[in-house]
């Protein structure tokens, strides 16, 4: 499904990723590492929001290196950002509807992610935890083949972590995912494969 | 709710009443009406797209000039989009200043436009149309403009335009290519501003470099600020600025600058979508 071949990324003289190579056939891949280890940059390169300095990325046999993010989304790769990128002046319902394109599916996703109580509130009026859930809802509303989730459990309370875990377990049977986290405990409960990234290099897998 | 209904009734009265009044009042009302269309065009760009233009006199004035030079040139007026849109390259925060500077440049340039021995500082004579007819056309266009904007704004397409306004990266993340939506929004706004410019030229039968002056550049911003960014209230705001300026100018010369100053102070307290981006 996804092949990342010798991807490197430099910001000026700062090397963020060094020859990262891995592949994912299906299931949930967990990537863990300390802050600044290159997890977010890696996901941004796969989703097209960053261009790699060198290396190639293939999705379902098609090269997606240097493609625009909106084209990559149409191929079935969706991204949920660590710092949520949502439409702040639109309601939660409108945010999800834009991604889902159908009202019934919007309602279904919002119900599963516990967003029903804030459905008609503007995104800027809801709590940070709910915004995080909204970001996830928008990602899955796209019905992706591969979801890239950057720190989906960060800034969530225990109750919402449970909601997200349940949701990911349920969707994990039909959608492949790459989930990043700097804490491995939660990640291990859902991931079928794990990669450790340190200083921009993959240093371990299990 | 009651205030909103009262404002709508007041606007409808202001639209109908001049039909029964003298020529001078009708001329004044027609001027306010065209500037109300101008304000509505500006408001769409600011509210739905998040771009606050302080040089909206560019499509307004260029179209008025085209119409005055040759009425057939009015069909080129939607192309004024491509005078304003490229300035979006400066980004949302610099766009107001960039558009204002460009409108001032056109103001200066317009003094030197001479065609067949006419123009220059005195400007051009525009084809004059019967005031009653042009007034009815203006009322119809204002109502159609409001309906068009309401229809677009409440459609799924309009939702995508607002999504691009709020966050272009988030829009890309759900597969929306922001460029066509931005061009579309600018085209709608500039086309309506162009129509307002043509009507303005037709009402007064004359176009001078003054159509690019700060009075027109800042007018929709001032009217929309008075109207707190709502369409009906902003139409009322347009009437307020025009009527107060005309009636009080004999006693306080250039009175509109006092209104503009108050609006600039008020603007810092009113919500503007162009400045509403929020990050967590």
Per-residue model confidence (pLDDT) at position A199: 85
Residues A91-127: tens digit of each pLDDT? 999 999 999 988 889 999 999 998 999 999 999 999 9
Q: How far is A143 from chain B (nearest CA, A)?
A: 11
State yes or no: pLDDT of A128 exceeds 60: yes
* Chain A touched by B159 (CB under 8 Å): yes
Per-residue model confidence (pLDDT) at position A34: 85
- Residue B80 and residue B188 in contact, taking contact as beta carbons nearer than 8 Å: no
* Chain A touched by B2 (CB under 8 Å): no
- Specify the higher pLDDT residue, A172 or B67: B67
Q: How far is B280 from chain A (nearest CA, A)?
A: 7
* Chain B touched by A49 (CB under 8 Å): yes
> Residues 6 or more apart from B156 whose CB is under 8 A from it?
none
- How confident is the model over A42-55, as a mean pLDDT? 93
| E strand spans, A81-190 | 146-150, 176-181
Per-residue model confidence (pLDDT) at position B256: 82
Report the residue from A79, A98, A128 with minimal CB separation from B160.
A98
Per-residue model confidence (pLDDT) at position B277: 47
CA–CA dist B186, B89 (Å, integer): 13
- How confident is the model over A167-182, as a mean pLDDT? 88
Instruction: Report how many Cβ contacts below 8 Å link chain A to chain B.
Output: 71
CA–CA dist A148, A131 (Å, integer): 17
Query: DSSP readout, B203-266?
Result: HHTEE-GGGGSHHHHHHHHHHHHHTTT-HHHHHHHHHHHHHHHHHHTTTSTTTHHHHHHHHHHH
Q: Where are the alpha helices (DSSP H) in chain B?
A: 2-16, 23-47, 57-69, 81-84, 95-110, 131-153, 156-166, 168-173, 178-204, 214-226, 231-248, 256-267
Give the confidence band of A187 by pLDDT, cuts at 50, 70, 90: confident
CA–CA dist B46, B51 (Å, integer): 5
The phi-psi region of residue B180 (left if phi > 0; otherwise alpha if psi is between -120 and 50; otherwise beta) is alpha
> Taking the domains of chain A in order of start, what are their residue ranges?
2-205
Torsion sign, CA atoms A122, A125, A126, A128? positive
Per-residue model confidence (pLDDT) at position B43: 94
Report the residue from B162, B169, B173 with minimal CB separation from A90.
B162
Nearest Cα neighbor of B23 from B129, B139, B131, B138 is B131
* Chain A touched by B279 (CB under 8 Å): yes
Q: How far is A174 from chain B (nearest CA, A)?
A: 20
> Taking the domains of chain B in order of start, what are their residue ranges?
22-212
Per-residue model confidence (pLDDT) at position B275: 46
Residues B21-26: contacts with CB within 8 Å, 24+ apart?
B23/B131, B26/B131, B26/B132, B26/B135
* Chain B touched by A75 (CB under 8 Å): no
Per-residue model confidence (pLDDT) at position B278: 43
Most B-contacting residue of A69, A76, A105, A131 (CB-CB within 10 A), to test interface: A69
Please tell me the CATH superfamily of domain A2-205, with its number. Answer: P-loop containing nucleotide triphosphate hydrolases (3.40.50.300)
Residue A81 and residue B280: Cβ atoms within 8 Å? no
* Chain A touched by B168 (CB under 8 Å): no
Q: How far is B274 from chain A (nearest CA, A)?
A: 11
Q: Look over chain A and give the mean of its residue pLDDT values, rounded to a whole number.
A: 90
Residue B176 and residue A79: Cβ atoms within 8 Å? no
* Chain A touched by B13 (CB under 8 Å): no
* Chain A touched by B155 (CB under 8 Å): no
The residue of chain A nearest to residue B274, with distances taken between CA atoms, is A89
Q: What is the pTM of this model?
A: 0.87
Residue B166 and residue A138: Cβ atoms within 8 Å? no
Residue A68 and residue B278: Cβ atoms within 8 Å? no
Per-residue model confidence (pLDDT) at position B272: 57
N-terminal to C-terminal alpha carbon distance within chain B: 33
Tokens of A102: 């159908």
- Residue A8 and residue A19 in contact, taking contact as beta carbons nearer than 8 Å: yes
Per CB-CB distance under 8 Å, the chain A contacts of B277 are 88
ipTM for the complex?
Answer: 0.90
Q: Partners of A205 in the beta sheet?
A: A195
Per CB-CB distance under 8 Å, the chain B contacts of A138 are 170, 173-174
In order along its 280 residues, chain B shows pLDDT tens digits of 788 888 888 888 888 888 788 888 888 999 999 999 999 999 999 999 999 999 999 999 999 999 998 888 888 888 888 899 999 999 988 999 999 999 999 999 999 888 877 878 888 888 878 888 999 999 999 999 999 999 999 999 999 999 999 999 999 999 999 999 999 999 999 999 999 999 999 999 889 999 999 999 999 999 998 888 889 999 999 999 998 888 888 888 878 888 888 888 888 776 554 444 443 3
- Specify the higher pLDDT residue, A183 or B179: B179
Residue B159 and residue A79: Cβ atoms within 8 Å? no
Q: How far is CA B57 from the centre of its chain?
A: 7
Residue B166 and residue A89: Cβ atoms within 8 Å? yes
- Residue A79 and residue B173 in contact, taking contact as beta carbons nearer than 8 Å: yes
* Chain A touched by B167 (CB under 8 Å): yes
């Amino acid at each position: 499904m996804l092949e990342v071949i010798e991807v490197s990324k430099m910001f000026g003289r700062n090397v963020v990723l060094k020859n990262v190579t891995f592949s994912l056939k299906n299931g949930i891949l967990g990537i863990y590492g300390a802050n600044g280890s290159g997890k977010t940059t890696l996901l941004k390169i796969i989703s097209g929001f960053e261009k790699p300095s060198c290396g190639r990325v293939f999705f379902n046999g098609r090269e997606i290196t240097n493609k625009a993010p909106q084209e990559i989304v149409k191929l079935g790769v969706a991204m949920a950002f660590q710092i949520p990128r949502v439409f702040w002046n639109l309601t939660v319902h409108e945010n999800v509807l834009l991604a889902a394109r159908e009202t019934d599916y919007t309602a279904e996703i919002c119900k599963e992610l516990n967003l029903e109580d804030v459905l008609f509130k503007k995104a800027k009026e809801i709590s940070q935890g709910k915004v995080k859930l909204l970001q996830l809802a928008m990602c899955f509303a796209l019905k992706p083949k591969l979801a890239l989730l950057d720190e989906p459990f960060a800034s969530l309370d225990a109750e919402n972590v449970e909601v997200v875990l349940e949701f990911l377990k349920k969707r994990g049977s039909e959608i492949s995912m790459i989930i990043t986290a700097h804490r491995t405990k939660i990640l291990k409960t859902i991931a079928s494969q794990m990669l450790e990234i340190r200083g921009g290099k993959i240093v371990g897998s299990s | 709710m009651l205030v909103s209904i009262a404002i709508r009734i007041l606007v409808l009265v202001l639209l109908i009443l001049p039909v029964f009044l003298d020529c001078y009042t009708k001329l004044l009302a027609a001027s306010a009406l065209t500037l109300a269309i101008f304000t509505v065009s500006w408001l769409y760009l600011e509210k739905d797209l998040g771009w606050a233009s302080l040089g909206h006199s560019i499509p307004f004035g260029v179209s008025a000039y085209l119409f005055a030079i040759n009425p057939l040139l009015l069909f080129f007026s939607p192309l004024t989009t491509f005078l304003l849109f490229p300035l979006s390259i400066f980004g949302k925060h610099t766009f107001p200043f960039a558009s204002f500077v460009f409108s001032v440049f056109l103001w200066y340039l317009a003094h030197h436009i001479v065609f067949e021995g006419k123009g220059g500082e005195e400007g051009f004579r525009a084809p004059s149309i019967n005031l009653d007819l042009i007034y009815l056309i203006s009322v119809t266009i204002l109502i159609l403009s409001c309906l068009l904007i309401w229809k677009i704004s409440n459609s799924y397409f309009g939702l995508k335009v607002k999504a691009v306004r709020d966050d272009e990266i988030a829009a890309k993340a759900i597969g929306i290519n922001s460029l066509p939506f931005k061009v579309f929004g600018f085209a709608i706004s500039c086309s309506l501003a162009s129509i307002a410019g043509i009507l303005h030229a037709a009402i007064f039968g004359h176009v001078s470099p003054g159509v690019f002056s700060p009075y027109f550049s800042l007018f929709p911003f001032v009217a929309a600020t008075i109207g707190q960014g709502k369409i009906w209230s902003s139409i009322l705001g347009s009437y307020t600025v025009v009527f107060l300026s005309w009636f009080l100018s004999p006693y306080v010369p250039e009175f509109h600058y006092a209104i503009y100053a108050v609006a600039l102070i008020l603007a810092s307290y009113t919500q503007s979508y162009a400045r509403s981006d929020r990050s967590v």
